[in-house]
Amino acid sequence: MYLDFYGLKQVPFSITSDPQFFFESSSHREALATLLYGIREKKGIILITGEVGTGKTTLCKALLDKLDHNIKTSLILNPFFSSVQLIQAIIEDFGIRPDKKNKLALINNLNNFLIDVTLKGGGAVVIVDEAQNLTPNQLEQIRLLSNLETSKEKLLQIVLVGQPEIIEKLNQPRLRQIRQRISVKYNLSPLREEEVAEYVNFRLKKAGQADVKILPQSYKIIYQFSKGIPRLINILCDRALLCGFAKEKKVLDEEVFRICVEELI
């Protein structure tokens, strides 16, 4: 691999959603601020949308790092289960061991946990990623969880994160109840053209500041290819590093990127 060649400690443009590499672009920063506000102010259900590869999963993980320690979290990355299994997964990610696995017992366990957390001055949030895949039944189940409350306040904040198709899904008449509960929304945008170089250099630095130079004209090509979508930027830059390694070049110019784009499309 090219790590030694460039003096890197880690792969800089991996396609996993590692929060250690979280770059606060203007849109990611606004999304985080929106989430922190919605959770702190107990706004009920928060909806975050974003096109494929814009960084939704990475944002979810970055959020976990930013929340106060007295906020308990449950992160569901792949909600491909039945609605009972969904509650079970939520409970288990909170670290609760359910007594029984029927729906009523699970909800009781969750309720007791939430009351306990709230009495201690904390809060709880469930983050469901890939929420565009939730079935109407699961969405209805989530709405019911958002009903858990004491006479004073809601016990559980819910964050739904998904591709824009989720909006169409929520527009179905039978889902109007959950739709009405969504009081905070944010749509994550790709990086702006002027943020691309910053993003690329941020990741290189995080990976151990490489002995590699990307010439300024290259960023135009990176932007044209990726339209600012981080996953596409990563795919292209990883390829360019590999290409440079094969040619024993530590200075990557427009030409290298142009060849890589041709190979990728």
**58: partner contacted, choices ligand ATP, Mg ion, none (Cβ within 5-8 A by kind):** ligand ATP
User: What is residue 211's DSSP assignment?
Assistant: S
**23: partner contacted, choices ligand ATP, Mg ion, none (Cβ within 5-8 A by kind):** ligand ATP
Say if residues 201 and 67 touch (Cβ distance below 8 Å).
no
Say if residues 50 and 163 touch (Cβ distance below 8 Å).
yes
By the rule CB under 6 A, 15 interacts with ligand ATP: yes
Q: How far apart are CA 60 and CA 32, in angstroms?
A: 9
Q: How far apart are CA 61 and CA 189, in angstroms?
A: 17
Using CB under 6 A, which of 32, 46, 54, 241 touches ligand ATP? 54
By the rule CB under 5 A, 57 interacts with Mg ion: yes
CB of residue 129 to ligand ATP, shortest distance in Å: 7
Q: How far apart are CA 133 and CA 90, in angstroms?
A: 16
Using CB under 6 A, which of 143, 154, 181, 231 touches ligand ATP? 231
- From 38-46, 55-63, 100-108, 251-259, give the range in contact with ligand ATP by CB under 6 A: 55-63
What's the residue count for the chain?
Answer: 265
* Complex with ligand ATP: residue 17 or 146, whichever CB lies closer: 17
Cβ neighbours of residue 186 closer than 8 Å, sequence gap 6 or more: 30, 31, 34, 35, 46, 47, 48, 49
By the rule CB under 6 A, 109 interacts with ligand ATP: no
Q: How far apart are CA 249 and CA 88, in angstroms?
A: 52
Using CB under 6 A, which of 28, 72, 143, 239 touches ligand ATP? 28
Using CB under 6 A, which of 8, 234, 240, 252 touches ligand ATP? 234
- From 46-54, 82-90, 170-178, 247-255, give the range in contact with ligand ATP by CB under 6 A: 46-54
Instruction: Report the sign of the C-alpha dihedral through residues 260, 208, 32, 15, in that order.
Output: positive
Say if residues 182 and 47 touch (Cβ distance below 8 Å).
yes
CB of residue 142 to Mg ion, shortest distance in Å: 18
CB of residue 244 to ligand ATP, shortest distance in Å: 20
Binding positions for ligand ATP, rule: CB under 6 A? 14-18, 21-23, 25, 28, 50, 52-58, 163, 230-231, 234
